[in-house]
């Protein structure tokens, strides 16, 4: 005998619930406006309100202190978010300060903030994660100089200088087409050189399939690219074939170092966590992307089981 479903969400309602559950992985409840912006289905605000209200009426979601929660939300997540928002606003001026310093390094074209701070959250375990766009064919020189600077910082300052993702401006396409990467792109905070941020999102326009209702970051918050005299001077040492040779050498040295450090890592995992190519450097040591996506899927299954329902495919 087939069990009768209590309530089956339609496509729009499914995407609204899934957005709530995605951010609940981070214990970060959304406001109604944020939920609208994060729902992976194109709706007018009026249409969204209608669909959202039905989910409230069915007790699949609830409102508390202006935040949207599911029944699987962690206790205290609202207070945690509020504290994290307050701390983020305190840290943001420092992030802009370090962005300008990073932008003054040779071959840096643009700087964005990613990670938790880009979503207006910061706590004791958080880092300031930078997404850096470099000039073509000089990414590995740029990265090496920034890593050397990182190593000279006091240990208590290093969390404010996490340069984990580099990409060259002549090839901005990111191959990881999924909700995690789409979220990181949608939430990038361009701190230096807004135009290269615009180009990055244009080259990865697929992310709009996940965020059809979310606008770009505001241009007035971004700073112009810095060009101190010493930046051009240092860049002049790495011209033509010599610069190309040095860049290739640094790519090879770094790649061999990581391969030696993680000899048992599967090739697919290594490519995801330590992507090292001429035009990109990605270093995420803890497999964070797959971990988050798996936790999200688990939350969806738990939700369906709890409410005896099935999400719209």
Rounded Cα distance, 106 and 132, in Å = 12
Per-residue confidence band for 1, with pLDDT thresholds at 50, 70 and 90: very low
Report residue 9 as tokens. Answer: 């969400």
Which phi and psi angles does 276 have, rounded to 5°? Answer: -130, 95
E strand map for the chain: 30-31, 62-64, 67-69, 108-114, 129-134, 162-168, 189-192, 276-277, 280-282
Confidence label for 7 from pLDDT (cuts 50, 70 and 90): confident
- Please tell me the distance from the alpha carbon of residue 90 to that of residue 106, in angstroms, as a whole number: 29
CB neighbourhood size of 30 (10 A)? 20
**Calpha distance 200→53 (Å, rounded):** 36
Cβ proximity of 57 and 91 under 8 Å: no
Q: Give the C-alpha distances (Å, rounded to integers) separating 132 from 109, 185, 282.
A: 8, 13, 11
- Whether the per-residue pLDDT at 186 is higher than 50: the answer is yes
Tell me, rounded to whole angstroms, the distance of Cα 123 from its chain centroid: 17
- The confidence score (pLDDT) of residue 264 equals 86
Confidence of residue 4 (pLDDT cuts 50, 70, 90): low
Q: What is the mean pLDDT of residues 33-48?
A: 96
CB 74 within 8 A of CB 67: no
Q: pLDDT tens digit string along 239-249? A: 989 999 999 99
Average pLDDT over residues 148-155: 94
The model carries a pTM of 0.92
Q: Which residue has the tokens 């997540």?
A: 77
Token pair recorded at residue 29: 């409840």
The three-state DSSP-derived secondary structure of 128-162 is CEEEEEECCCCHHHHHHHHHHHHHHCCHHHHHHCE
Contact of 299 with 24, CB cutoff 8 Å = yes
pLDDT tens-digit map of 25-37: 999 999 999 999 9
């Amino acid at each position: 005998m087939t069990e009768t479903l209590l309530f089956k969400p339609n496509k729009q309602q499914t995407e609204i619930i899934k957005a709530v559950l995605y951010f609940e992985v981070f214990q970060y409840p959304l406001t109604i406006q944020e939920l609208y912006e994060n729902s992976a289905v194109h709706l007018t605000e009026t249409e969204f309100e209608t669909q959202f209200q039905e989910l409230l009426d069915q007790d699949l979601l609830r409102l508390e202190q202006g935040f949207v929660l599911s029944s699987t939300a962690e206790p205290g997540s609202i207070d945690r978010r509020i504290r994290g928002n307050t701390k983020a606003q305190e840290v943001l001026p420092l992030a802009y300060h370090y962005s300008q310093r990073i932008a003054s390094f040779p071959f840096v074209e643009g700087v964005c903030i990613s990670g938790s701070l880009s979503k207006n959250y910061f706590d004791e375990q958080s880092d300031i994660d930078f997404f850096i766009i470099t000039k073509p064919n000089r990414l590995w020189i740029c990265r090496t100089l920034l890593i050397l600077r990182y190593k000279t910082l006091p240990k208590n300052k290093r969390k404010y200088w996490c340069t984990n993702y580099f990409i060259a401006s002549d090839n901005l396409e990111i191959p990881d087409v999924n909700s995690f990467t789409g979220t990181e792109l949608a939430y990038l905070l361009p701190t230096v050189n807004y135009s290269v941020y615009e180009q990055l999102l244009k080259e990865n326009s697929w992310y709009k399939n996940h965020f059809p209702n979310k606008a770009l970051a505001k241009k007035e918050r971004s700073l112009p690219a810095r060009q101190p005299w010493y930046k051009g001077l240092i860049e002049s040492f790495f011209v033509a074939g010599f610069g190309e040779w040095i860049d290739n050498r640094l790519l090879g040295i770094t790649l061999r170092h990581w391969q030696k450090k993680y000899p048992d890592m599967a090739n697919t995992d290594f490519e995801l966590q330590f992507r090292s190519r001429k035009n990109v450097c990605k270093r995420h040591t803890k497999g964070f992307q797959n971990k988050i996506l798996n936790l999200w899927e688990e939350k969806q299954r738990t939700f369906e089981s709890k409410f005896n329902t099935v999400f719209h495919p």
